Structure 1
C-alpha cells in the first residue's frame, strides 16, 4: 500500500485522529495507560490505535526499561523527522532547504534581508484595524490563533495578573531543517515571532528562555508588556 494511503487510513478514524493530535501537543512521550485514561477507552483499544499510528510512521515508539523491575513499557512520541503530505504531491520542504542554503551561501546581507521579510510577515499575520482597541486577553487570543494557523502548538501563560506572557512552542514546524540550518532557521523564526509580538504589544521586551538548539524540549519566550 502506498505510504500516502497508509497515512490517510490511519487518520480516518476520529478517535485515532484525536489521539494523534493529543500526542502532537505533548512535551513528553505517552504510554497506553495515559491514552486510555485521556480518551476513556480500554487499554487494549488504546494500544491498537497507537500501533496503527506507529505502523504508519505518524508516531514512533520505543521500549523503556522499568526502574522497579518487570516488563519494559512501550512509549510513543512524534518522530524526529516530520512527515510531508500533500495532494498532489509537492516538495515544498525541498524549496525551503534550497532557500536556506542560498541564505547561508550569500552571508550576512542575505540573512538580514531574510530577517526583515520574516519580521514583516509576522506583523502582517496579526495586523488588523482594531488591534489598538482590543484588550490584553483579546490580543492573546489573536496570538494563539496566528500560531496555530502556521502549524505549531503554542502554550501561552500569563504570570499572575501581570502583563507577562510565557510563550512556549511545541511541534516546531521547522524541526526538519534544524539539523541542516539550525542557526538560520532560529534567527528568522524569532524575527517572525518578534513581528507578531510587536504588532500586538508595541512596547514589549522579548527574551528567549529555552531553545531546542540547546537541547531543550521546546522553545520558550518570555514577553513583558511595558
Structure 2
C-alpha cells in the first residue's frame, strides 16, 4: 500500500513522462524538496521508481534524476512477510522483533535528515509529531498525530500489514510499537509509547505517547 503523499509523488513522476529532478516534483506538488526526496527514496526501495545521475553533468556532484519503473517482476512479498513473521513467532524471540522495529524507526528517521532538537526535552512536541507523521505516512499507516497536554495521540487509520497482523498480532503490533519508539528515541524526545491499542476498528489502531 502506497501512502497518499507518496502516491501523489509517484503520480507526478509518471505524469512528467521523463526523468525529472526532485525540485521539479516539489514545485509541481508544492512540497518541500526534502519531503519529496524522502518519498522518492522509498519508491526506489520499493521498486516503483529508479534513479540515475543527470547526463548533462555540471560542476560538483551530479544531481539525481528519477523516473517511474514501468515493468516489474511479480514478487509475492506478502507471502515472504507471513513466512518471516511465523518463523519469528515460533522462535519465541519477541525481543528480536522489538529491537528490529526500534532500529528501523531510527533508520527511517535518519533518511529524513532529522536530528535531535537542541531544545529541552518535551518542548518540541509539535516537531516530534511532524516527523512521526511523515514517517508513518511514508509506510502507509495514513496517520493522524495530535499533540495533547500529556504527550501525543496517534491514530493509525490504515494498517499496511493487515494480513500478517491478523495472523501474528502480538508480533507485528509489537514491532509497530517499537518502530514508533525508535523514532521518538532518535529525536531524543523523552517520550514513551505507553499503549498501542490494536484493531479498535477493522484495520485501525491507536497509540498513546507520554512524557
Is the TM value for this pair above 0.5? Answer: yes
Larger radius of gyration: 1
Aligned partner (choices 93, 99, 110) of residue 116 of structure 1: 99
Post-superposition Cα deviations, 1:93-123, rounded to whole Å, max 9, x if no partner, equal 111011011112212xx32222111111111
CA distance in 2, matches of 1:130, 1:178: 31
Q: Which residue of 1 aligns with 2:204?
A: 218
SS at match of 1:132: coil
SS at match of 1:210: strand
Post-superposition Cα deviations, 1:183-217, rounded to whole Å, max 9, x if no partner, equal 211111211111112222441232226321x6576
How far is 1:180 from its partner? 1.6
Structural RMSD (CA):
2.7
Q: Which runs of 5+ in 2 are unaligned?
A: 1-70
Aligned partner (choices 183, 192, 196) of residue 196 of structure 1: 183
CA distance in 2, matches of 1:177, 1:112: 18
How far is 1:125 from its partner? 1.4
Q: Which residue of 2 aligns with 1:152?
A: 141
SS at match of 1:131: coil
Instruction: Note closer, same or farther for the CA distance 1:175–1:129 as it changes in structure 2 (3 Å cut).
Output: closer
Q: Do the aligned residues in 1 keep the contact of 2:82 with 2:164 (CA within 8 Å)?
A: yes
Instruction: Return the TM-score normalized by structure 2.
Output: 0.56
SS at match of 1:178: helix
How far is 1:179 from its partner? 2.6
Aligned partner (choices 165, 175, 195) of residue 152 of structure 2: 165
Q: Which runs of 5+ in 1 are unaligned?
A: 1-85
Instruction: Return the TM-score normalized by structure 1.
Output: 0.53
Instruction: Note closer, same or farther for the CA distance 1:216–1:201 as it changes in structure 2 (3 Å cut).
Output: farther
Q: Which residue of 2 aligns with 1:62?
A: none
Query: Where do 4+ consecutive residues of structure 1 move more than 4 Å?
Result: 214-217
Q: Do the aligned residues in 1 keep the contact of 2:126 with 2:147 (CA within 8 Å)?
A: no
SS at match of 1:168: strand
